[in-house]
Structure 1
Amino acid sequence: MNWKIAFIDDEPLVRNHLRSLLAWEETGFVVCGEAGDGQQGMELVKSQQPDVVIVDMSMPGMNGLELTRQLSEAYPRLKIIVLSSYDSFEYVRGSLSYGAVDYLLKHQLNPGTLGSVIGKVRKQLEERVTQLRAKEMADIALARSVLRDHLLGAEPNLQPLEHYFSESDPGKAPPRFVLMFVQLAHYEVLTARLKEQELNAYLRSVADLCDQATGGYPLSCTVDMDRGRWIMLISSGHERSEHALAQSVLAKAARLEASLKIYMNLAATILTSPFFPSLEQSCEAYHKLARRAEGQVLQPARGGQVAKAPYVTIGQEKRILAAMEAMDGEEASAIIKEIMSVEQQGGANHLERMAGELVQIAAKVARKADIPADWVAKELSVFQHPGLTRDRVQAVVCTIYARLAQELYSMNLPSGQSRHVRQAMQIIASRYREGVTLEETAERLAITPSYLSRLVKEETGRTFTELLTEQRIERSKQLLREGDTPLKELHLKLGFSSNSYFIRVFKEATGETPSTYAQRMKRKAK
């Protein structure tokens, strides 16, 4: 996470000095703006909402002490660091009494002193986020418990639920509410196919999709009512237009239906209640929806079995998983295009099922690597639109795999490398087939080739060309272990100009030819 920092000082040289003293992005900050006096500083903070400001004590007009006082009153969560000289130290003491967290002396300003103060402030920011998240989780858990008890007929104190929703609209008129009712189809089949631990994880994923589709904390509260049923209590927030509210609820329901179908290959009955003005009425609204749903819930297939075979074969899934293990989004996209090129009966329905299976494989990769994959659901909004084409479905799924490959690669980069080297290595990983050059990469990073060459050598111990060759050789080893690509075609997948050149480079790197390596791996696998 990058925090935002701003500088407020009437001397441009001091602001330039502050900007250049630290590699701000590497310390977890991004410089969001600068101001030359107190009034400009107030406007900057209002527009940019920084997390931290460094304020000079001696400025014309509104001095740093007065600015600190006003900022502390208007933005109590803002961290203020004051910058002073010896003759303004009385101002420093005053600013600390107004809430400044630390100070820097101009004559001692260097990377060490600045880095020490910034490190302390970053720790305070991180601790605050941890505390806020803990409070948020506690509020969510309590609100869900109260809502569930209320819907089941108990008479709990609804004040925690009122407090939960008041966070979304503080100081405004009380919001109106609507219930969204979700019942999974084929729930019995799902419980028969999955072990208890797998089922619990699966149902948590459904609950997460419900939260994402309806707005999450503090605009909605999702409750698991057991046996594949969820209830979302949704606040109207600031919106007062009846038409806008109705359209918003319809959009949320459509988004949820699409996400369940594509992300998890699930069908569901989704119903919504009319808006009601008080939380007490949510119980009555729930029972009305439950009665409506009784005749609409989809039944499982005969014999409790899912009739249709999967669109993605086991062999194709293994190839996709191998491509993702190599963090090769381009190879995964090629396999996806191959799968989706086969004509199937069923029109848009088969497109949705096929995409659903492919996205589930991506979700499996993300879970195994412990990568949060909430963003996948956001990519699925395309499936809410009519007239869906194969090309559009294919583009969305390929985009998901490309981003997943990039995140996997980022996770596996060595720590301690500079931003430019990390970006260069990502470019090599994604474009090694094209024979990307040092010059092209440097141009993309907006630095000179000689500077990039020096950085790469200093931080990795290898040249740019050696890294490119290493990427190709590692990928060739994996393709050889899979055994699905003919030896004579390997060089085409790896960006080598000819098969003979590939064999020579492979032997120089590994001490054996590709065919010898493949035979050895085959014997080892037996």
Structure 2
Amino acid sequence: MFQVVLVDDEALARNDVKSLIDWEKHGFTICGEAHNGAAAISIMERHVPHIAILDVSMPIMNGVELSRIIKNRFPKVKMIMLSSFDDYDYVRTCLMNGAMDYLLKHRLNSAALLSLLNKAVQDLQCEQREDEARNAQSKMIERLSPVILREYVANLVREVQEAGEELQLYAQDNGLFVHSVNYAAAAVQIVPFLLLTESFTDVQKNRFVQRVTDVMQMAVGDIHKRTAAYAGEGRFIVIFSSSERSEHTVTAQMNQAMSSLSHSLEKFLNLRCVHAIGPICRSLRQLAASYSKANQLMNDKFFVDLSAPVQRDSLLIEGQKQLLLFLEQLDGEKVQRVISSIFEAVRDEPVYSMTVQVIVSEMLRMVEKTLKRHSIEDNKIIPARSELGRLGTVGEFERWMSGCYASILEAIKQQQAGGTYSRHISQAVQFVMDHYASNISLEMAANAISLNSSYLSRRFKEETQMTFTEYLNRVRIKSSCLLMESGTYSMKHISSQVGFINYTYFFKVFKSITGMTPQAYMDSRKPSKK
């Protein structure tokens, strides 16, 4: 039944309209009557009708104003106007407000009324069909959205139960991979994903992944035939479908597509990747197994066995201690030797291995920690992490990291040698920082900076409030404290490491500067037992 509201200020006129036809017989019912526009709005707010028959001339709110409100608030309601001859200007305005037609009261009859009511029903049904078609199209677009398709594909990687079956059904329902007879999956790893994204926020990481996915998709082609999706931790899956029956041809197509993918990532995002292609299969249901094989090939080829990492981890931990120590000692030669020994342990591993990425990540954390401790801004010292995406060998990583640590050492030396000192005293302080572990003297420092030793001695005391020897001893004792905290060396070895020839003299100077013996200092640094 189609609901109709009658709006006329004359009850007699409303009764005339109601008596013209058998409403229910023709599929209509009067759901409300109102004597003015305001009352009609009140009725329609409680129950929206399909059709409204409106008198043009009414008190309080006439049909013109009412038609405007109905158009804005109830746009699906079909309006039929009732009018007298002298109301035609108003009727025209109502038609402009969306009314479908009008009836003259003195010519009102059952045929004319029924004709307009049926026309309203036709319009309503036509609009309903259009709405249903739009909704169906919208749902189809939603089902075919790249996000949803990629989620089905990514489930193949996540070992979701029946993921292959669900992808098969989704493809059948939406006309995907039509005419395909051969399928395969490839695993792709971004190099080095961890290093590039570990400092990203979740939003930044998602944007990065989306850019990578978009470039991959652009390279391999139509998403409904070849689909790239993110699997996690820098790993992506690409599925292929082909109407070619020759496996040799399909393999050639996949190799060409993956070559294009690698080239595009390097060209547009400055990223390197490695990949492996799984075996060809005959249905989407079998793609999970194809990816699993590709993933295994990837791990066998590019990623080391981490089942026995004890020796490597031990080397990294010891190397970290030494790096922190030698950074504080500003010993660039020893820093470079430690970096070389760390990378030597992974020299034969591919740069894509997680072990290499973890090592580089930890070394970068030490860089950041050191700069923070010395209150040095790192934006101009540490190279941008985006540069790591271009590195292709462990040797390149080692050279990149060596340059990074050399820059840090230089920044710390400049900071410590700077301050309010004059140029000559800054040079002398720098000489101390570079050579304190050797048997140096005031005369050697004076010769190095081309000054008279007496003049240097006087100026040094004036600016630093210490003699040259006092300053040198304080630097040596500070370094010895760091060596003690490392827990690696004996006391006598430490004394010689920082430039003291005589252990007894070291003992005396240490107590004089710190107020305690070396052993007492070591005991004070041990964690208290509760």
Please report the TM-score for the alignment, with normalisation by the length of structure 2. Answer: 0.39
**Greater Cα radius of gyration, structure 1 or 2:** 2
